Amino acid sequence: MQFNLMPRRLKDFWDEWGIEMLVAVSCVMHIVLTLFGSRRKQIKNILVRFIIWSAYLLSDYVVTVIFGKLTIIPVSDSTREITDSELRALLAPLLLVQLGSRDAITAYSIEDNRLGLRQILSLFAQCNAVFWILFRCWTNSPVSYLYLPLLMAGFIKYGENVWALSTALTGSSGLTITEFDEEGHVPKIFKDLPTDIPNQKMITTAYYRFVCLKPHIDNWLYKPLYQVSVEYTSIDRYTSQEKFRITDLELGFMYDVLYTKFPVIYTWIGLALRLISSITLFSISIAFCILFKDSFVYYINAGFTFVVLGVILTLECYQIYMLVFSDWAIVGMVKHRSKPAAMRFLRALAPQSSKRKRWSNKLDQFNLINYCLDQKKYDYLTKLLSFTRFFKFQGWDTEIKKYLCKSTSVRIYEEFKEMLIQEMKKVDEKRGSKPVDKRGTWALIRSSFNNESAEMLKRSVEDRDFDKSIVIWHLATEICYHNSDTDQKRNPTSKIEMGRLLSNYMMYLLAVQSQMLCITTSDIVFDHACEILTEFLTTSAHGDYSKNTRDDIVSKACKDLREGNFVRERGGKTMVTEDWKVLEDSRNVSEHLTSLHGDHEDAMWELICSVWVEMLCFAATNCPADNHSEQLRRGGEIVTHVWLLLLHNTDADPYLREKRKDR
């Protein structure tokens, strides 16, 4: 007796409509990737990222399954002029077009750009599968003659994907060295720019800064040495707000090169291929309508195919719209500014550029004390996930708990950016054009204190590992914050609030984005600090929620830390933490900060902000370019903006440093 897990009716339904169901799923994933693929650079929401990730990974597999089913469909010998097998075969090149039509997301992560050879093999395999399907179902009917132009359009679209992936990390996208080195090339462009068109100068500046530096390529050593070129691409004369705006644009170009088709489309070959494929698709849709103008009722497969074709054409129109209104289009019109049509488009498009959001503009916050108070609420989740050894082995149970305990992100105010730029100028004055190798020392030297307190503060950043310094200064900042003037706390642009924002952000990098700090011991240090702090909060009864509000608990804990009301800490369980006294070091830093400035709280918080900005600069400089590139697809990070601003004034090569001095 044969036993079937699938009911007979369900099996028959799947045999008859399985291809159409899978094609519908593929269309939904195509819509998701087209509409949300480029918006992930603006969104930090993990659910949206998960949906995009799922659609990106599954889309190729779903199409492969459909191709497999299409290769075994029965070829009809019906006397009808147009057979069902012909119409079903038409889905194969349409799906190939669909696979290649992801302008907004050619790569999900930076690793995808290193798989160019695999993509070429995939293109070859997919095209062979489509060709075999079409060959089997060819009948010399009018529908069969639509196969070839559709196959050509699909090959072009998929080829654009391979082209974009293979050039993303080679440095061949955008301006070439030869073009940039033509004497007078850059100055002429900037001199000819009309002054009455807003935004176009900043976009042009950002573009030439990007193609000159190519920050996403580690081995790209070229920088312009012409004084006149540097003068026009410099942003020193811009305001702090404009500097961040140009950096946003520059990172936008970097995102497009790494994750989209825009750079390859905005070449003469790319535009020609896009024109051919788009005209082909629209022509086929017209031909399809003519062939079946009175027969959609009789040919159900024709109606379904037309719906799929309509979805592809609608998304094609949307992508053309996105191409026309992109920053790449504005740069292209600037290059062809001598043509009246280009100038008309430039006047229409450039003012709209400022309305587009290019990153989340959010600062993630992670407060260590709040985490230690909250983590007990999620112990059940950790225990639940621990039953699945895979989650525990990967460390995902702890990461999920960190994410759930993370404070909400806060919007970055212009005053915060102004403070950041001013502090970075001070860092630039100290480092020259060398990479940042200090993490608070320069700020403490600028404070002009030479007493015992100043020396102790220097030791807290010089003699301690970077991850330990972050924890110590984070807790010290909390102690000082809860001992400061409450009126200033209500002002989000005060130095007190900005200092705490930086403190929580650096703690977020250590706890949640430790790869950005490139510290191998970050997890050990974080776990030890949590263990000590949780024990302190528990033994001192700070965690009694029934009697106190959260603010009262934290304030009392910080007061006890400031006054030294805690038992002597035991050493850590590892070599990394065995001689580290978390609470004692944090109390000493807060005490010496207070003793240095006395009643001058503003000066104390200015120093705290300076130290945190210097730590941020150190973290940004020492983080690999790949890690910064990955953050672009996750909503962006302020540390990446700091990295790019510093990178333009950093010369790792001594020869380039001498050239910069000569200029």
Q: Does 227 have pLDDT greater than 50?
A: no
Cβ–Cβ < 8 Å for 34, 69: no
Q: What is the DSSP string of 595-656?
A: HHHTT-HHHHHHHHHHHHHHHHHHHHHHS-HHHHHHHHTTT--HHHHHHHHHHTT---SHHH
pLDDT range class, residue 254, cuts 50, 70, 90:
very high
Looking only at the bridges linking them, the beta strands covering 362-365 and 407-411 are: antiparallel
Note whether residue 24 is domain-resident.
Answer: yes
* Distance from C-alpha of 142 to C-alpha of 81, rounded to nearest angstrom: 9
pLDDT tens-digit readout, 430-479 = 888 788 889 998 998 887 776 778 888 999 998 899 999 999 999 999 99
Q: How far apart are CA 549 and CA 488, in angstroms?
A: 21
> Is residue 637 included in any domain, yes or no?
no
- CA distances (Å), origin 198, targets 41, 265, 332, 333, 444: 24, 25, 16, 14, 41
Is residue 365 classed as helix, strand or coil in its secondary structure?
Answer: strand
Residue 458 half-sphere exposure, CB side, CA atoms within 13 Å? 15
User: What is the H or E stretch that residue 582 is in?
Assistant: helix 582-597
Give me the chain's average pLDDT, please.
84
Q: Are 36 and 51 in contact (CB under 8 A)?
A: yes
Q: Which helix (H) or strand (E) holds 363?
A: strand 362-365
User: Angle CA(36)–CA(38)–CA(40) in degrees, nearest 5?
Assistant: 70
Q: 98: domain range?
A: 8-167+293-322
Over pLDDT 90: what percentage of the chain? 45
635 within a domain of the structure (yes/no): no
Residues 376 and 311 in one domain: no
Largest CA distance in the chain: 100
- pTM metric for this prediction: 0.91
Closest CA to 33 of 84, 99, 130, 92: 99
Q: How confident is the model at residue 168 (pLDDT cuts 50, 70, 90)?
A: confident
5-31 tens-digit pLDDT: 667 787 777 878 889 999 999 999 999
Q: Cβ contacts of residue 475 below 8 Å, gap of 6+?
A: 368, 369, 533, 561, 582, 583, 586, 590
Supply the DSSP string of 165-183, one letter for each residue. Answer: HHHTTTT-SS--HHHHHST
Q: How many CA atoms lie within 13 A of 525 on its CB side?
A: 20
Q: So what's the pLDDT on residue 659? A: 46
Q: In this structure, is residue 506 part of a structural domain?
A: yes
Identify the helix (H) or strand (E) that includes residue 69.
helix 46-70
Confidence of residue 78 (pLDDT cuts 50, 70, 90): low
Question: Which structure tokens are listed for 552?
Answer: 């009262």
> What are the pLDDT digits (tens) for 265-297?
999 999 999 999 999 999 999 998 888 876 665
Q: Give the span between the Cα atoms of 329 and 345, in whole angstroms.
A: 9
Q: 479 and 400, same structural domain? A: yes
- Pair 416, 240: CB distance under 8 Å: no
Q: Are 571 and 578 in contact (CB under 8 A)?
A: yes
- Name 520's Cβ contacts closer than 8 Å, sequence gap at least 6: none
**Contact present, 208 and 223 (Cβ < 8 Å):** no
Nearest residue to 181 (alpha-carbon basis) of 221, 142, 226, 214: 226
Average pLDDT estimate for 415-432: 92
307 and 448 housed in the same domain: no
Asked if residue 260 is part of any domain, the answer here is no
Number of structural domains (the chain) is 2
One domain for residues 465 and 367 = yes
Whole-angstrom distance, CA of residue 73 vs CA of residue 325: 43
Q: Is the pLDDT of residue 365 over 90?
A: yes
Whether residue 380 is found in the same domain as residue 528: yes
pLDDT at 166 over 70: yes
pLDDT digits (tens, 9 = 90+) for 390-415: 555 455 666 777 777 766 889 999 99
3-state secondary structure of 296: coil
Between CA 565 and CA 571 the distance in angstroms is 18
Q: Does residue 647 lie within any of the structural domains?
A: no
Q: What is the pLDDT of residue 114?
A: 86
The pLDDT of residue 385 is above 70: no
pLDDT score for 553 = 84
Is residue 362 classed as helix, strand or coil in its secondary structure?
Answer: strand
Which pLDDT belongs to residue 217?
Answer: 79
Co-location of 317 and 367 in the same domain: no
| Whether 91 and 145 share a structural domain | yes
Name the DSSP letter for residue 375.
G
Per the CB < 8 A criterion, the answer to whether 246 and 238 are in contact is yes
In the structure encoding, which two tokens stand for residue 384, read together?
Answer: 């639940």
Please tell me whether residues 311 and 442 are part of one structural domain.
no
Contact predicate 409/594, CB 8 Å: no
In the 8-state DSSP scheme, what is residue 358? -
Q: Report the amino acid identity of residue 165.
A: L
CB contact at 8 A, 213 and 175: no
Q: What is the pLDDT of residues 530-577, one digit of tens each?
A: 989 988 888 765 555 555 677 788 888 888 888 888 877 776 667 888
A 10 A CB-CB count for 12 gives: 11
462 and 540 in a single domain? The answer is yes
Q: pLDDT-based confidence at 595, cuts 50/70/90?
A: confident
Q: What angle do CA 403, 406, 408 make, to 5 degrees?
A: 120
Higher pLDDT, 485 or 360: 360
- Please check whether residues 447 and 299 belong to one and the same domain: no
Res 354: pLDDT:
81
Please indicate, yes or no, if residue 353 is contained in any of the structural domains. Answer: no
Which pLDDT score, from 0 to 100, does residue 603 have?
87
Q: What are phi and psi of 409, to 5 degrees?
A: -75, 150
Provide the pLDDT for residue 97: 95
Quick check: is 277 in a domain? no
Task: Give the number of other CB atoms < 10 A from CB of residue 305.
Answer: 25
Tokens read off for 419: 């403070």
Residue 386 — very low, low, confident or very high, per pLDDT cuts 50/70/90? low
Q: Are 181 and 228 in contact (CB under 8 A)?
A: no
Pair (157, 13) in one structural domain: yes
Does residue 60 sit in the same domain as residue 129? yes
636 or 658, greater pLDDT: 636
Is 464 exposed, middle or buried, given 0-12, 13-18 or 19+ CB atoms closer than 10 A?
middle
Burial 552-587 (b: 16+ CB within 10 A, else e): ebbbbbbebbbeeebeeeeebeeebbeebbbbebbb
Using CA atoms, how far residue 26 sits from 30, 99, 125, 311, 320, in Å, is 6, 9, 19, 11, 21
